[in-house]
Chains A and B, each alone.
Chain A
Amino acid sequence: MSLPTGEGHPVLWQRLSPRMLLVHPVHEVLRQLPLLIGSLVLGSATGNPWWGVLALVATVAFGVLRWFITTYRIAPDEVQLRSGVLHRKVLSLPRNRIRSVSTDARLLHRVLGLTVLRVSTGQEARGDSEFALDAVAAEQVPRLRAILLADSLAIPEQAVTPGRVLARWHPSWLRYSPLSFTGLAMIAAAVGIAYQAGAAAALRNSPLAQSGRDVAQRFGAPATAAAAAIVVLVASVVLSVLRSLVTYGNLLLRRDAELLHLEHGLLRLRENTFDMRRLRGGTLREALLVRAFGGARLDAVMTGVNGAGESSLLLPPCPAATAQAVLADLIANPDAATGPLRGHGPAATRRRWMRALAIPAVLALVGVMVGVPVWAWVAWAGLTLCCALLAADRSRSLGHRVSDGWLVARSGSLERRRDCISGAGIVGWTVRQSWPQRRAGVATLIAATAAGVKRYQVIDVPAELAWSIAAGASPWVAHNRWAAPDPRD
């Protein structure tokens, strides 16, 4: 793999793309918007408009300075990034620790043909400690990616040629997005910000609020509330679908030999390259509503990739069959992805029911003692029914499977997940029993791995089975000195 300069010579510090001279000032102005507005207000208050101009010039100059000050270099053994206008800092990463390279292009970046390139070592890195080249020319990205990943991957040059497509986004996937709460969360956030900015006080005396009150009086409060709820619901659905479309539109999951390549986004284009040799399994996640419509989301279980959140996402909610097929393909084990699971027996089921019905039981006791009106009992019955359904679904979800050195564990109801973990990736086992679990004769088996969320649980398996499951996935458990054949055999 060719380096920017020959080995042995001091490697030159390079600047980011000169086009960033256009981007930085804009970003800086956006970032300092409150300050600029403040200075404008100050200017108009003191009758001296130069305050605003001065602040703008300073902000733009700061942005331009950022480009001159940020430099990076790719040395034979490490990559370094120097940045910071006021606080100078140098970030160094050993090249053999690089685990993944991802790119990200916001709208302005894309217009100018730029891409942000992020290098991850698998350690948690946020904000300041993140190694991000913001930004390089998009046409340089394949070359930089190959150079940066060369040390840790040692991929031959031809392997970079496009490989097999595992999944491609389809507009029908959008049908799963209204089922999430993202739209509602976005509305709540917008309302919160508006309130903070003092919009509520402005709204209270506005003609808009007055006409709203008139309407409410004419149609009655319940009808108005229902109408408002429907409006919020529709807005939330529209927002969810739009967000999903913009974020995941044109998603493409491709496998090039030992590299897994994910790209998605309509306006903001994001690409992520994973090293397949760090894959330790996958997780199928089915939120209750998504599951009801036959959907699932797929996450990678990988060392060096945070298991929760967006960084491990391979497929957003999509038809479950697609997610299962991709998972089966990635881990080369269809049984682990879709095979039947072994249930955890009556004790585990009993524990699910006890837990779910504990709250209704306490409420009933309180209700009897205090004496509450009839409608409260109707609400209580509804709550109890929901809890019972939850308990039934949670018990049905519980299951595990060990075969061919793979551990599969499924649990949960509102957020059901099926974790498929490679036994080779498991670095330790824990069998945990609380006092009620000991009495019920069950145990929680925890597989520790360096990948994903680090701990994968098999909840409430019969205690006598726990070590057998561990031994099934990790043969070394069965071969150590403490292992004794089960007395029942």
Chain B
Amino acid sequence: MDKSPDAGVTLVDPAHPPSRKAPLVWAIGAGIPWLILVLAQLVWVALDGRVVWLHLLAAAVTALGIIAFVVVAPLWRYRVHRWEISLASGPPAVYTRTGWITQERRIAPISRVQTVDTYRGPLDRLFGLANVTVTTASSAGAVRIVALDSEVADRVVAQLTDIAAIGAEDAT
């Protein structure tokens, strides 16, 4: 170790953004439950429209929720989300930045990787996206790279499994 903790280390952010389609998919995914809520409120108005102020209040809350979770959150998350896998210099590692209001940077060395999974939900399949989860021996250490283009995800998985196979340690 040639750097003492007081020398000061900062990590530059990972390079790659998620797929360009990510905000759209996130918005649709978040929008469906809100749409159901809107429909429920319309039914409510149709059945019993007497207490006008209550309806207006409910509509305002819903509108705020939609703006926050369907419009702002996906765009904000797209600006924050980054991922990168380092193979060339230093010990191979995977590094991500995620979140919107609460943001996380997470790094794990590939020598400690136990499994590499991909997950494609119905919306992901519709738009050709995939999510890669890199798990380590710790439940607090799983690194998730979300909303990648399918072919990028496949390449990532192939790369990761290639290197992870080299490290035959216990990984705990």
A and B associate in one complex: yes
Q: B137 touching A478 by the CB < 8 A rule?
A: no
Question: Measured between alpha carbons, how far is A25 from B33 in the docked complex, in Å?
Answer: 56
CB distance from B155 to the nearest CB of A (A): 18
Size bracket, chain B contacts: 35 or more
Are A427 and B141 in contact, with the CB atoms below 8 A?
yes
Q: Shortest Cβ distance from B164 into chain A, in angstroms?
A: 13
Q: Which of A448, A450, A480 contacts B91 (CB 8 A)?
A: A480
In the bound complex, how far is the Cα of B42 from the Cα of A205, in angstroms? Answer: 58
**CA–CA, A287 to B57, complex, Å?**
46
Closest chain A residue, CB of each to CB of B6 = A468
- Are B141 and A472 closer than 8 Å at their CB atoms? no
Q: Mark B1-25, 1 if CB is under 8 A from A, else 0.
A: 1011111111111100000000000
Least distance between B8 CB and chain A CB atoms (Å): 3
Tell whether B109 is near chain A: CB-to-CB under 8 Å. Answer: yes
A438 at interface (Cβ–Cβ under 8 A)? Answer: yes
Proximity bits, B131-149, A CB within 8 Å = 1, else 0: 0000011111101000000
Contact B102 A448 (CB under 8 A): no
Say which one of B44-52, B65-73, B81-89, B121-129 lies at the interface with A: B81-89
Query: Does A430 lie within 8 Å of B91, measured CB to CB?
Result: no
> Could you tell me if B104 and A303 are in contact, using CB atoms closer than 8 angstroms?
no
The answer, among B7, B9, B10, B112, for a CB contact under 8 Å with A427, is: B112
State the Cβ distance, A300 to closest chain B Cβ, in Å.
15
- Kindly specify which of A174-182, A262-270, A385-393, A481-489 makes contact with the partner chain: A481-489
Q: A305: CB under 8 A from chain B?
A: no
Inter-chain contact B90/A425, CB cutoff 8 Å:
no
Contact between A482 and B14, CB atoms less than 8 A apart: yes
Let me know if B103 is at the binding interface, CB within 8 A. Answer: yes
Query: Assuming the A-B contacts A478-B3, A485-B9, are A432 and B138 also in contact, with contact meaning beta carbons closer than 8 angstroms in the complex?
Result: no
- B141 A448 Cβ-Cβ under 8 A: yes
Contacts of A440-477 to chain B: CB distance below 8 A: 446, 448-451, 454-455, 464-465, 467-472, 475-477
Task: Tell me, rounded to whole Å, the shortest Cβ–Cβ distance linking B163 to chain A.
Answer: 14
Residues in chain B near residue A446, CB distance under 8 A: 140
Given contacts A427-B108, A432-B104, contact A475 B8 (CB under 8 A): no
Asked whether A468 lies within 8 Å of B137 as measured between CB atoms, the reply is: no
The answer to whether the Cβ of B156 comes within 8 Å of any Cβ in the partner chain is no
Using a CB–CB cutoff of 8 Å, the interface residues on chain A facing chain B are 278, 303, 402-403, 405, 425, 427-435, 438, 446, 448-451, 454-455, 464-465, 467-472, 475-489
22 A-B residue pairings within 8 Å (CB atoms): A303-B137, A402-B5, A427-B136, A428-B109, A429-B106, A430-B104, A430-B107, A433-B104, A449-B140, A450-B171, A450-B172, A454-B140, A454-B141, A464-B8, A472-B4, A475-B3, A477-B9, A480-B86, A480-B91, A481-B89, A483-B90, A485-B8
